């Protein structure tokens, strides 16, 4: 798979080349070129901010259409817990899970179930593995992992080296199907994630901490939502006793969909949970400067309020979180007491490595020279960060110039200065028209 | 031989909430230069502590950074109250921070010791009533 595959695409018809998205991108990964926004692949972390901010709906998340279901003989749904927060008046998770079965899935495996196992393992690691750096940073939000990879290399070692619940869920679900139906080939089985977020699409198609993801397709919560609604109405009418029990997770797993959920499952008070990409960056900056070292765990979610705020959801994230709180009220703390053998592979298989995309050159003295030029160019720019050049800030334009991707005259103020210079040159030149071409009444230059 | 890179930062003593911005900006530059994580960390912690001290104890000042092929040099200059007993100030845990400063999480008396720990060379010139200048150098090693 390609190294820089992302979950955001551009509808060029709709893109008006405004500067909303370039301003919002936390890694300065977007430029406007030839009137259209374009993403610098290596810098994109899939946080979805550009999709959220685009008023023309020109930035689109990539995921699979519901029709993908037909490709598989045996289909397993992996619903993210954020799904449960989307429905009003829902008081029994089994209603949603059964609706997934009615929709056409053959089996359901809750991501929340795997989340409980990840929490369980995290608790053990924090108690036993004293060699791990302190504090640990959650690795469940793929946008955060990618952000750390490009911007905070010194914090890579703090990442919890466990696969995210979705990956664990996929493996466990697959193992369950393969045990029950040995007649099916891998290709006939479809492990399908019902996702709140686009970053997780990239994480399954182009995973960082494992060679291959077992997730075969990703559906958006907002796509499947209306279909589930209609099935849910029918199921709800059956009466609770007659609804088949499918639910496989307790409070702990379900709470993972909101900011702070993963932390509370660690049964320690000594944590910090930050949500929203800008807050996440602030926390990482602090951590990088050796502040916050007294904490045991840091939970970071790129989306405001946590995964319930993912771009593929329907409901306002705060409303969704309140619903989840009500839903979980009478639920057991956890439903997962697995033996070691039942658990899928949980640790990272490949380490997540630093990706030095911000470096100006791989040669230090060349980088120093470029930085010198960058500074000179920047000193000459107006410092308005107006975005008219297609770069988010004057500093980014200066950086693009030294990297060779832009010209100083892309700055409209610089351009104006050039044009003014040209105009005065033209005027001066005009005075030097040779005598044969001069108008009869025009005096020689210098004469009155 | 490339020219040395010189950067200048004015540190305002008016606004506590902006303390630390200059070190964050320098960090960005060091990252773009591709310096190793451990160097970046050392430089930014050393500068951060110095910057905070200037804001908290000396009402702001200036920071001049010079980067060449061998090291990062920092000069932090202020016209604050000065430090009368430098040896004492350098002791871990020594602080004259006021209660209100402490309530913001500063005043553990760890700033100067941290600066010494993270720099390869450090010197303080200070005259009470005139001001303080802190010189630090961090060598780049194999960079
Ligand atoms: N630039 C300065 N001007 C005047 N006094 C200073 C300056 N820098 C440090 N000091 C003095 O030295 C003392 C020790 O400084 P240090 O940075 O080690 O601790 P602190 O600033 O009090 O607390 P912390 O840095 O842990 O938040 C300060 O309390 C202050 O009295
Ligand atoms: S917070 Fe959750 S929904 Fe948002 S990007 Fe991260 S994993 Fe996806
Ligand atoms: Mg201090």
CATH code of the domain containing B13:
3.30.565.10
Beta carbon of B77 within 6 Å of any ligand 1 atom: no
Distance from the CA of A391 to the center of ligand 1, in angstroms?
40
Identify all chain B residues contacting A288, using CB atoms and an 8 Å cutoff.
27, 41, 44
Identify the bridge partners of residue B60 per DSSP, sorted by sequence position: B12
Identify the bridge partners of residue B65 per DSSP, sorted by sequence position: B7, B74
By residue range, what is the domain housing residue B127?
5-139
pLDDT greater at residue A333 or residue B122: B122
CA dist A277 and A139 (Å) reads 15
Percentage of residues of chain B with pLDDT beyond 90? 73
Identify all chain B residues contacting A151, using CB atoms and an 8 Å cutoff.
31
* Chain A to chain B Cβ contacts (< 8 Å): 64
Contact assignment for B44 to A153 by CB distance below 8 Å: no
Identify all chain B residues contacting A399, using CB atoms and an 8 Å cutoff.
32
Q: From the CA of B78, give the closest atom in ligand 1.
A: 1
Cis ω before A373 (30° cut-off from 0): no
Q: Where in chain A is the domain with CATH 1.10.15.40?
A: 364-427
Instruction: Return the residue of A nearest to B47 by Cα.
Output: A289
Instruction: Supply the ipTM of this predicted assembly.
Output: 0.77
Residue A2 has what pLDDT? 41
For chain B, the first-to-last Cα distance in angstroms comes to 15
HEC per residue, chain A: CCCCCCCEEECCCCCCCCCHHHHHCCCCCEEEECCEEEECHHHCCCCCHHHHHCCCCCEEECCCCHHHHHHCCEEEEEECHHHHHHCCCCCCHHHHHHHHHHHCCCEECCHHHHHHHHHHHHHHHHHHCCCCCCCEECCCCHHHHHHHHHHCHHHHHHECCECCHHHHHHHHHHHHHHHHCCCCCHHHEEEEEEECCCHHHHHHHCCCCCCCCCCCEEEEHHHHHHHHHHHHHHHHHCCHHHCCCCCCCCHHHHHCCCCCHHHHCCCCCCEEEEECHHHHHHHHHHHHCCCCCCCCEEEEECCCCCHHHCCCCCCCHHHHHHHHHHHHCCCCCCCCCCCHHHCCCCECCCCCCCCCCCCCCCCHHHHHHHHHHHHHHHHHCCCCCCCCCCCCCHHHHHHHHHHCCCCHHHCHHHHHHHHHHHHHHHHHHHCCCCHHHCCCCCCCCCCC
Q: Where in chain A is the domain with CATH 3.30.70.20?
A: 8-61
Contact assignment for A369 to B69 by CB distance below 8 Å: no
- Complete DSSP assignment for B73-94: EEEEEE-SS--S-HHHHTSTT-
For the record, the structure tokens of A2 come out as 């390609």
Q: pTM of the prediction? A: 0.83
Contact assignment for A372 to B2 by CB distance below 8 Å: yes
Instruction: Return the residue of A nearest to B48 by Cα.
Output: A289
CA dist A235 and A140 (Å) reads 33
Beta carbon of B72 within 6 Å of any ligand 1 atom: no
8 Å CB contact between B129 and B82 = yes
8 Å CB contact between B123 and B134 = yes
The region that residue B59 occupies, defined by phi over 0 for left and psi between -120 and 50 for alpha, beta otherwise, is left
The fold for domain A8-61 equals Alpha-Beta Plaits (3.30.70)
* Minimum distance, in Å, between the CA of residue A292 and any CA atom of chain B: 11
Mean pLDDT of the B11-21 span? 85
CA dist A29 and A45 (Å) reads 9
Reported confidence tier of residue B37, pLDDT bands at 50, 70, 90: confident
Residue A124 has what pLDDT? 87
Distance from the CA of A303 to the center of ligand 2, in angstroms?
5
For A132, other C-beta atoms within 10 Å of its C-beta total 15
For the record, the structure tokens of A82 come out as 């954020």
Identify the bridge partners of residue A271 per DSSP, sorted by sequence position: A297
Q: Cα separations (Å) of A120 from A126, A145, A360, B42?
A: 10, 21, 42, 35
H-run or E-run covering B104: none
Instruction: Return the residue of B nearest to A27 by Cα.
Output: B28
A373 and B CB contact within 8 Å: no
State the Rg of chain A over Cα: 28
Residue B85 has what pLDDT? 94
The fold for domain A364-427 equals 3-methyladenine DNA Glycosylase II; Chain A, domain 3 (1.10.15)
8 Å CB contact between A280 and A133 = no
Mean pLDDT of the B62-73 span? 95
Q: What is the pLDDT along chain A (448 residues), one digit of tens a residue?
A: 344 478 888 899 999 999 999 999 999 999 999 999 999 988 999 999 999 999 999 999 999 999 999 999 999 999 999 999 999 989 899 999 999 999 999 999 999 999 999 999 998 888 888 888 889 999 999 999 999 999 898 899 999 999 999 999 999 999 999 999 999 999 999 999 999 999 999 889 888 888 899 999 999 999 999 999 999 999 988 877 788 888 888 899 999 999 999 998 888 889 999 999 999 999 998 898 888 888 999 999 999 999 999 999 999 999 999 999 999 887 888 877 666 665 667 888 888 888 888 889 999 999 999 999 999 999 999 999 999 999 999 999 999 999 999 999 999 998 888 889 999 988 888 878 787 777 776 665 555 4
Contact assignment for B5 to A375 by CB distance below 8 Å: yes
A423 and B CB contact within 8 Å: no
Count of domains forming chain B: 1
Residue A447 has what pLDDT? 53
Residue A334 has what pLDDT? 80
A12 and B CB contact within 8 Å: no
């Amino acid at each position: 798979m390609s190294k820089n595959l992302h979950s955001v695409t551009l509808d060029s018809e709709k893109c008006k080349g405004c500067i909303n998205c370039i301003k919002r991108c936390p890694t300065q990964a977007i430029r406007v070129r030839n009137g259209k926004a374009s993403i610098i692949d290596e810098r994109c972390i899939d946080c979805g901010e550009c999709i959220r901010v685009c008023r023309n709906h020109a930035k689109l998340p990539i995921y699979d259409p519901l029709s993908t279901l037909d490709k598989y003989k045996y289909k397993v749904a992996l619903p993210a817990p954020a799904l449960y927060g989307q429905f009003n008046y829902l008081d029994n998770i089994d209603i949603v899970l059964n609706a997934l079965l009615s929709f056409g899935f053959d089996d359901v495996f809750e991501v929340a179930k795997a989340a409980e196992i990840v929490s369980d393992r995290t608790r053990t690691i924090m108690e036993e593995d004293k060699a791990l750096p302190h504090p640990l940073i959650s690795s469940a939000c793929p946008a955060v992992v990618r952000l750390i990879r490009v911007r905070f290399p010194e914090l890579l070692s703090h990442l919890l080296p466990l696969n995210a619940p979705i990956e664990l869920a996929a493996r466990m679900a697959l193992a369950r199907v393969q045990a029950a139906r040995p007649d099916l080939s891998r290709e006939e089985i479809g492990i399908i994630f019902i996702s709140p977020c686009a970053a997780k699409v990239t994480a399954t198609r182009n995973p960082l901490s494992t060679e291959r993801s077992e997730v075969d397709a990703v559906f958006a919560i907002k796509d499947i939502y209306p279909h589930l609604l209609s099935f849910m109405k029918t199921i709800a009418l059956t009466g609770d006793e007659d609804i088949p029990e499918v639910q496989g997770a307790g409070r702990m797993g379900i709470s993972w969909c909101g900011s702070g959920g993963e932390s509370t499952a660690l049964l320690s008070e000594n944590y910090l949970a930050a949500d929203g990409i800008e807050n996440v960056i602030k926390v990482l900056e602090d951590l990088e400067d050796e502040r916050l070292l007294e904490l045991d765990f840091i939970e970071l979610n790129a989306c405001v309020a946590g995964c319930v705020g993912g771009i593929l959801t329907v409901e306002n994230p705060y409303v969704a979180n309140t619903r989840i709180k009500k839903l979980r009220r009478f639920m057991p703390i956890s439903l997962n007491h697995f033996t070691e053998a039942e658990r899928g592979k949980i640790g990272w298989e490949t380490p997540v490595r630093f990706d030095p995309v911000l470096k100006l050159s791989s040669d230090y003295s060349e980088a120093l020279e470029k930085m010198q030029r960058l500074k000179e160019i920047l000193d000459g720019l107006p410092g308005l960060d107006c975005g008219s050049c297609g770069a988010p800030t004057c500093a980014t334009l200066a950086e693009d110039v030294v990297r060779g991707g832009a010209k100083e005259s892309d700055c409209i103020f610089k351009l104006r200065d050039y044009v003014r210079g040209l105009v005065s040159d033209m005027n001066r030149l005009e005075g030097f028209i040779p005598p044969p071409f001069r108008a009869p009444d025009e005096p020689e230059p210098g004469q009155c | 031989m490339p020219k040395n890179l010189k950067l200048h930062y004015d540190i305002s003593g008016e606004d506590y909430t902006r303390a630390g911005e200059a070190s964050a900006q320098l960090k960005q530059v060091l990252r773009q230069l591709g310096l190793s994580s451990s160097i970046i960390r050392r430089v930014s912690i050393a500068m951060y502590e110095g910057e905070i001290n200037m804001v908290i104890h000396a009402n702001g000042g200036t920071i001049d950074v010079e980067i060449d092929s061998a090291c990062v040099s920092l000069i932090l200059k202020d016209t604050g109250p000065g430090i009368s007993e430098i040896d004492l100030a350098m002791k871990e845990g020594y602080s004259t921070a006021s209660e209100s400063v402490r309530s913001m999480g500063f005043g553990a008396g760890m700033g100067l010791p941290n600066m010494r720990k993270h720099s390869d060379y450090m010197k303080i010139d200070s005259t009470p009533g005139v001001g303080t200048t802190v010189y630090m150098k961090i060598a780049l090693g194999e960079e």
